[in-house]
Amino acid sequence: MKALEDELIAENGDPYRVIDESTGKARFSDHTMKAARITETEKEWNRHRLTVATAFVKVGDHDKAMDRLTAIDYVNPQWLRHQRMAQDVMAAIVQRRKRRLTSDMRSMATRLGVLG
């Protein structure tokens, strides 16, 4: 999971690789993590979900980025509120989305302190 995070930080990092490794039945997908009995509240899994959300924002898929934020918020809202990466993901969604924000997006932005 750390290697995928490093992939996004790299100068020529490939967000599509991060997405490919983290969706469906890939090695680091939610499905695979559940099968391995890794609890959803573990920091590493939540941080990985934030990495995947960042990758989705980079490729312009704001709905899937929101899905990852919502999944973390569902199991560990206290942790999410204090994560700078979550705030960055939400700020990117707010700034780049061409259509009006959904009510869920506005609510999440407010909880993360992105919208006043």
3 state SS for 91-106: HHHHHHCCCCCCHHHH
Cα 33 to Cα 38: distance, rounded to the nearest angstrom: 6
pTM of this structure = 0.81
Cα 18 to Cα 54: distance, rounded to the nearest angstrom: 9
- The pLDDT of residue 12 is 78
Q: What contacts 34, CB < 8 A, 6 or more positions away?
A: none
- The pLDDT of residue 40 is 61
Domain boundaries, the chain: 2-111
pLDDT tens per residue, range 37-53? 766 667 788 888 899 99
- The pLDDT of residue 29 is 65
Residue 74's Cβ-side half-sphere holds a number of Cα atoms within 13 Å equal to 9
Tell me the mean pLDDT in the region 85-90: 96
- The pLDDT of residue 68 is 93
Tell me the mean pLDDT in the region 8-36: 75
